[in-house]
Structure 1
C-alpha cells in the first residue's frame, strides 16, 4: 500500500504544481486555495507512504513523479520547450524512480 500512497501523493504534487501559475503569485483567491489545499494533501499522503518506506526513497520518488508530471503538462499545455536534452533528462528521472522502486524494500 505504501507505493500506492506514494503515487497518489505524486499525482497530488503534479496537480498543485501545475496549478501554481493560475495563482498569479497567490493574488488569485481560488487558485491559491486549490494549490494550498492540494499541496497540503500531497504532503499528508506522502506521510502515509513513509510509514513503510525509507523517507529518502519516498521523497525522491515523490518529487520525481511531481517533476515528471509537471514537466509533461508544461510541454503539452503551457508551450514549454520539448528539446532532446529535456526529454533525455526526463528519462533519467524516470529511470531513477524505477531504480529506487526496484531496490527498495518496505521498512515496516
Structure 2
C-alpha cells in the first residue's frame, strides 16, 4: 500500500504544479484552491508512504515522478519544447524510478 501512496503523492505533485501555472500569483481562486488541495494531499500521501518506505528513497521517487510528470504535462498540454536528449533523460529518470522500486 505504501507504494500506491507514493505513486499517488507523485501524481498529485504533478497536479499541484499544473494548478500553480494557472494560479497567477495566487490571484485566481479555483487554481489556487486546486493547488492547495493537491499539495496538501500530495504531502499527506508522501508522509504515509514514508512510514514504510525509507524517507530518502520515498522523497527521491516522489520528486522523480513529479518532475517527469510535470515535464510531460508541459510538453503534451502546454506545447513546451522538449528536445530528443531531454526526452531520453526523462525516460532514464522514469527507468531509474522503476529500478528503485524493483530493488526495494
Question: Using the alignment, how far apart are the partners of 1:61 and 1:37 within structure 2?
Answer: 21
Question: Using the alignment, how far apart are the partners of 2:16 and 2:51 within structure 1?
Answer: 23
Matched ranges for 1:47-62 at <5 A: 47-62=47-62
Question: Using the alignment, how far apart are the partners of 1:67 and 1:96 within structure 2?
Answer: 13
Question: Using the alignment, how far apart are the partners of 1:3 and 1:77 within structure 2?
Answer: 27
CA RMSD, Structure 1 to Structure 2 (Å) = 1.0
Give 2:88's aligned residue.
Answer: 88
Question: Using the alignment, how far apart are the partners of 2:53 and 2:39 within structure 1?
Answer: 20
Give 1:97's aligned residue.
Answer: 97
Question: Using the alignment, how far apart are the partners of 1:95 and 1:16 within structure 2?
Answer: 23
| TM-score between both structures, scaled by the size of structure 2 | 0.94
Give 2:43's aligned residue.
Answer: 43
Give 1:65's aligned residue.
Answer: 65
In the TM superposition, what is the alpha-carbon distance from 1:82 to its structure 2 partner? 2.4
In the TM superposition, what is the alpha-carbon distance from 1:92 to its structure 2 partner? 1.8
Deviating runs (4+, > 2 A) in structure 1?
Answer: none
- Structure 2 SS opposite 1:78: coil
Aligned length: 104
| TM-score between both structures, scaled by the size of structure 1 | 0.91
Structure 1 alignment gaps of length 5 or more: none
In the TM superposition, what is the alpha-carbon distance from 1:32 to its structure 2 partner? 0.7
Structure 2 alignment gaps of length 5 or more: none
Give 1:24's aligned residue.
Answer: 24
